Structure 1
Amino acid sequence: MILAADDPTWANEVKAKLQATGLLGTIDVVNAQTVTPTVAQMQAYKAILTWSNYGYANNSTLGNNLASYVDGGGGLVVAVFANASISLAGNINTSAYQVLVPASQTQSAQLTMGTVLLPSHPIMQGVSTFNGGTSSFKSTSTTLAPGAYRIANWSNGDPLIMARDNVGASNAKRADLNFFPPSNTSRSDFWQANTDGARIMANALLYVGGKCYCSAL
């Protein structure tokens, strides 16, 4: 599931990019500006990717539901600005479930993927380049929750790709991506679609979802 508080056109562009990797099955898009899925609705999916560009319809209820989803073994990937200036609330935004502790956001000079700290990590499979575009939107936070770890950094040394294992009651996996998911297909200053942003997102979903090539994600 893509759970995006964002322009639906941009969310569907991310869906198309993920589908084009050939790694995932059917992907449903939910507009989180207007809809707050129940835990039962979430549990139809092995993994969820959420990000924000606008406010969530009810970020506290959504955060509580996402925490319950993770407790049940669901995989969650959080990206900018949901781990930055328009963050989730509720239980998911506590140290028991966080990866990157949210802060504000920054629009940097153009950044690329820098040091890869864990090149053999599954999220890095097939990933060689990433260019954040002329905006390179990211969280200002460099603080990770207890148990979380960096996989790759931005070229300025800030965290880019992060994960955390054994989260919640079912020891689920979590990942955070410190970039805004729509690419320059949607707007010219976003991450460059000729680099590996889609593969990073797909790999993150597979990782937190147990590498399941599922019919629904």
Structure 2
Amino acid sequence: MKWILYDIGGVIELVDDHSWPTELRGRWSRRFGLLPAEYDARLAAADLPDTTVNVGVAERYWQGVADALNLSDADVEAMRGELWDAYCGEENTELLEHARSLRGRCGLAILSNSGDGAREEEERRFGLSEIFAPICYSHEQGVLKPDARAFEQALDRMGVPAGDVLFIDDNSPNVHAAQALGIRAVLHHDNAVTIDAIERFLAE
């Protein structure tokens, strides 16, 4: 059986992962009366855990942020809500509906760079587990794309050779890394083009 392996942010979620971290940094530094450089310096000195490759560290991360910026519990709760709103963006309804239509024709999986807590938050918003299995998150696997190990773990969990997989991502380095392992890959920029590529792959 062939498999379609999807990225999340910028593919099945409509979000610009390159812009929202900078936008939040600017918003939060202004809110707390700090210059961006001072905001950055305080967080750097806090030695926060890396939430992208570790699971179960979110509470320690946010406590570190609160201590570094002298924040109240309400401040931190607001920041967390704003972060997940920015992180998740909106559902790419067209691509998700197409994925749902593929059930029974192929396997459907996810490989995504992520932050600790993403599985719970994205499941609450989008119900991804109803469509995709496995869902491979970097914070649970301990490795980020484009590291080859991220793809190798996903292949192992799908239980198929690289040539039976089509990977869809909106970042060129990730697409090239997949191709280097023998995985077919599409650089996503338009739903219609991506859907056509999926259909052609499945028809081969």
Structure 1 length as normaliser, TM-score?
A: 0.30
* Greater fraction helix: 2
**Rg larger in 1 or in 2?**
2
